[in-house]
Structure 1
């Protein structure tokens, strides 16, 4: 029996090297980076009876699809919330609004795009339909759209054209919940309606790089609707195979909160199965939810039969609600005059450290105001953020060195020498995730007058656990000419792609 189990493990490892892509979301696929199509994303099923150590080694061979890898490299995604709620001062609409209530005098999409491009974002996701069902594009599915408003113009088209003109990627948020649609709550009829809306968005506006879904619904309104996410994923793959499906999609998952932070140890190969597979009861069976503090450690591997490459995306707004909107919701997403404050630079930097700095992408929301622009103070804050990163966390003191470290195994250390003694308090370390995420724990030391001494971690970093695509560690100010990284625990020999150190004077 032991021989058969070892043979099974070897066959799985061999199959991973062959990049055999599955053909539908219900099948599993082995994961080398850059696999054909990337649909569904890579996953690995464990052989029966595999030990937790054997599972960990197999999970370490899992790697992202090419489009997942490219998505992770973008790091920063912008969200734009603009719609009926902007004009009704609500967090959630009711579906009873009329297009005549949507009354912008202008919509300056070029200002949105230029502001966010200059701030370092690579892609913008526009909320083209929120729960009220009002559509920001010219659709044949309903008259509850911008086409029948005083503004009339197709905002989705204006937005997509502006993005492409400035070299930005395009994303759409389409709420599955539609309180205006007559077919909502009628099962397949609504899913047909939703697929027609999806088809319009995916065929009328050029390449769509990300589709973002949530599972919003509220049965207290008396309508029960099952969303056919599997069908939606198949349609997206058919029409836009390079499109990332996020949150309740297949390619990127919600980090579990809207507060702007990922887990202290954020795994991309996780036991949590994407809901878009339509495998009801799977996650409940293994005691997993999207909000759990742990989705990928050995404790999780011990109890699950499979892992999925499903990296985290952190969604939060640049604005903090200070008073409720007219429907009593403290809303951070849509613009509410006098009821929100723009986050401070310290708050934005904390979010950056806890999202991009913890192996997640940051999805930062910008509420557009009634004048159709990103407000001046929001634009100024994100410009300040970009300038701070450029000035302090871009070049680094190891910039002229090859800091890669291939085959970093348990207990091994590597020293990195600075050109001279420098004051530092930030370390950025990255794994080559095209070969998997492997490091479970590492440590940082510095040369202190000939003795190696551990750095003192800041509260925002807490621990040096996983690495993944990028890990940013903040620690107390030190002055040194040399640092040492030790791999304390790794699932397989790790592939460290880069190490660098910085001094952040303010944040």
Structure 2
């Protein structure tokens, strides 16, 4: 993921101009992308899921300093020595996926290869992989098999950049790792990436999505860098037509992409400086950390509360987007205990009546800042769900909405709620006599 230092750079008009030039250079003279029927169906299913879990795990967990540790000074060859001690003896794919499924999440996105260049599967394209560690077992294989077994969607993160390989033409990150810039060979590196992607898309069963990262490494280049994305995207869609492609480039989606992600921001917000791009009509996803970092960092125990995470999920769904919530597994292969607690709390909430207002919904018409948002079921007679996300205890709320309300209930308890139409304002007023004020989310189900 991007370091905070990059935020200010991406905000400048110069960078945006370069980004637009690069996008044009990559799509020039390419045939227009036409998604298959399988792909369109996969997009709908992806949007219906609304909740997934991001898993940032690699050699960087051994240093316990986050996934960008190699960028901050270590020599790549010294860094690589930790592979000889990587033995996540407590890793258990069944336990991971079971906990994730119980949380109410419908899919995972796993970092097969991050910017550090280490591959977490049995790749034949590089010796720098999980099989050449004391552990010696294919992590991706175990996760893929368990996802397929338990009915959890499998999305695979893949970094477009590499801070260790000499053939990758370095951009503006990973410049202190000891690489020789004279040995850069884009054609060789591009073939290497495509060979690895082919392995992932042919050897591990159904892959629901590929999640790219790293395009921004060349967004300052004087001459636009051609990532050759259209050809790569076409290869992926040929191998698995239903596989949806997303790219964390912080731009409006490029042709060939099937979803749009927003890093650390809900669509329409730009609090972290990475999400100023326009919102497309593709399926949307917000990726956010459960604590502060993506990869495991020993000092980062600043976990968001269960209430904060539930409200984040609700506000994201109310924008018509999925929440991809990150966990950084420990070097021993376990998910942190606090992360497991948060998953359990979210599952308790989602697997009760509340899930009805999240899964298979679209953005609702009622939105009053962050305190009152709404989701809506699909179909002409679908109910509207009004979510009250404040600890302030109000006896009633007044909202503007289309249609004539027939019935209103507290979704969690099932109790009926009294309501009336204010003729002067046209607003519908709901009485909330049963509201305590400390709910994670007070949900009014309105039927028409």
SS at match of 1:66: helix
SS at match of 1:127: strand
2:340 corresponds in structure 1 to 379
5+ long unaligned stretches in structure 2: 1-28, 170-184, 249-255, 379-383, 413-434, 441-448
SS at match of 1:362: strand
Q: Distance in 1 between matches of 2:128 and 2:360?
A: 47
CA-CA distance at 1:341 after TM superposition: 2.3
- Higher strand proportion, which one? 1
Matched, 1:253 2:260: yes
1:36 corresponds in structure 2 to 37
2:206 corresponds in structure 1 to 207
1:71 corresponds in structure 2 to 46
Q: Distance in 2 between matches of 1:429 and 1:108?
A: 29
2:32 corresponds in structure 1 to 27
SS at match of 1:341: coil
Q: Distance in 2 between matches of 1:290 and 1:339?
A: 22
State which of 363, 366, 370 in structure 2 corresponds to 1:460: 370
5+ long unaligned stretches in structure 1: 1-23, 39-64, 266-288, 297-307, 321-331, 396-427, 445-456, 488-497
Contact 1:264 1:463 in 2 (8 A): no
Write the deviation string for residues 291-317 of structure 1: whole angstroms up to 9, x where unpaired.
Answer: 227x35xxxxxxxxxxx6322210011
TM-score, with length taken from structure 1: 0.60
Q: How many residues align?
A: 346
Q: Distance in 1 between matches of 2:311 and 2:303?
A: 14
SS at match of 2:135: coil
Contact 1:252 1:311 in 2 (8 A): yes
2:402 corresponds in structure 1 to 486
Matched, 1:318 2:290: yes
CA-CA distance at 1:392 after TM superposition: 5.5
State which of 114, 131, 135 in structure 2 corresponds to 1:130: 114
Q: Distance in 2 between matches of 1:67 and 1:472?
A: 28
SS at match of 2:210: strand
Matched, 1:84 2:59: yes
CA-CA distance at 1:199 after TM superposition: 0.4
CA-CA distance at 1:345 after TM superposition: 1.6
CA-CA distance at 1:104 after TM superposition: 2.2
Q: Distance in 1 between matches of 2:275 and 2:269?
A: 13
2:299 corresponds in structure 1 to 338
Write the deviation string for residues 205-258 of structure 1: whole angstroms up to 9, x where unpaired.
Answer: 111111101235546999x96422212211111111111112347111122x31
Distance 1:66 1:179, change over 3 A: same
Distance 1:471 1:100, change over 3 A: farther
Q: Distance in 1 between matches of 2:299 and 2:361?
A: 45
CA-CA distance at 1:354 after TM superposition: 2.1
SS at match of 2:87: coil
Q: Distance in 2 between matches of 1:392 and 1:101?
A: 46
Write the deviation string for residues 87-122 of structure 1: whole angstroms up to 9, x where unpaired.
Answer: 023432354332214232342111110110111111
Write the deviation string for residues 450-498 of structure 1: whole angstroms up to 9, x where unpaired.
Answer: xxxxxxx4x414677x9797975427766789997327xxxxxxxxxx9
1:139 corresponds in structure 2 to 123
